[in-house]
Structure 1
C-alpha cells in the first residue's frame, strides 16, 4: 500500500501550511514597501541604506524580519509536527506582529517598532513547542 501525506503528517498540519502561506504574503508586502521607498527616495541598487532616515526605517523593518525568518520557519515546522493547531496560532501571532513592527518603523520613529513586541509570544511559544516535540521523540514527556 502506498504511503500518503495523511500517513506522514497530522491532519491539522494544513493550518501550519496556511500560516506559512500567510508569512509569504507578509514577506512580499515588506519587500514591496522597500521597493516603493527605494523609488520614492531615489535609493539605487545595490545600496542598502541611504542618508534618508525614513528609507532606512523601511529597509530595517524588512531586513530584521528576514534575519529571524529562517529560524522561525524551522520552529514553525518542528512545532507543527507535534502541535499543529498551537503552532499555527503561534505562527500567525508572529507573522501578524511583523506587520505591526513594520508599520511602527514606517512612522520614522524607530521606537514605534516596539508595537510588534507581542510577536515574541509566538516566537518563543514555537521555540518551547519545538523543545517539547524533541522531548516527545526522546520519550521524556
Structure 2
C-alpha cells in the first residue's frame, strides 16, 4: 500500500498550482480575446495572416498574444503537476518556485504582447521561466526518487 502524507503547509502549494496558474491562464485568454476584434481575425481562425499583419499592427499583436497563450497552455499542466508533486516533499520551496514561474510567465506574456518589439522578441523579458520549470521538475523527480529508493 502507498501512503501519501500531505505536509501541514501544503495549502500554499495548492494555492499556486490550482489557483495562481489557472488564473494566469484566464488572463492570457482575456488578453488574446480582447485583441481578436481589433486585429480583424474572425473565428475560427487562430492567427492573422502575414498580409493582415502588414496592414494592421493589431494583427501582429494578436498573433503574439495567441502564441504566448498557446505556449502557456503547452507548459501550464506539467508545471501544475510538478508543483503539486514537489510540494509533497518540499512545500515551501515548491510554492515559491511555482510563484516565481507564474510571475515570469506574466512577464513573458507582457513582453510578447505589449513590448512593441518585432517578432515578439519582448518575450525574453520572462524567458527565465524555463529555469523555474526545470527546478520544479527536478524537485519532483528528486523528491519522489528519494522516497522510492528508501524502500
Instruction: Quote the RMSD (CA, aligned, Å).
Output: 1.5
**Residue equivalent to 2:60:** 53
Contact 2:28 2:69 in 1 (8 A): yes
State which drifts further: 113-122 or 54-63.
113-122
TM-score (norm 2): 0.82
Superimposed CA distance per residue, residues 94-131 of structure 1 (whole angstroms, 9 cap, x where no aligned partner) = 11111100111113421110111221232111011011
**Residue equivalent to 2:53:** none
Match of 2:14 among 14, 17, 21: 17
How many residues matched?
134
TM-score (norm 1): 0.88
Superimposed CA distance per residue, residues 72-104 of structure 1 (whole angstroms, 9 cap, x where no aligned partner) = 122111101111110000000111111100111
Hey, what's the Cα distance between the residues in 2 that align with 1:114 and 1:90?
19
Match of 2:133 among 117, 120, 123: 123
**What pairs up with 1:64-79 in 2 under 5 angstroms?**
64-79=71-86
Query: Unaligned stretches of 5+ in structure 1?
Result: 1-6
State which drifts further: 7-16 or 82-91.
7-16
In proportion to residue count, which structure has more helix?
Answer: 2
Query: Unaligned stretches of 5+ in structure 2?
Result: 50-58
Shift of the alpha carbon at 1:42?
Answer: 2.0
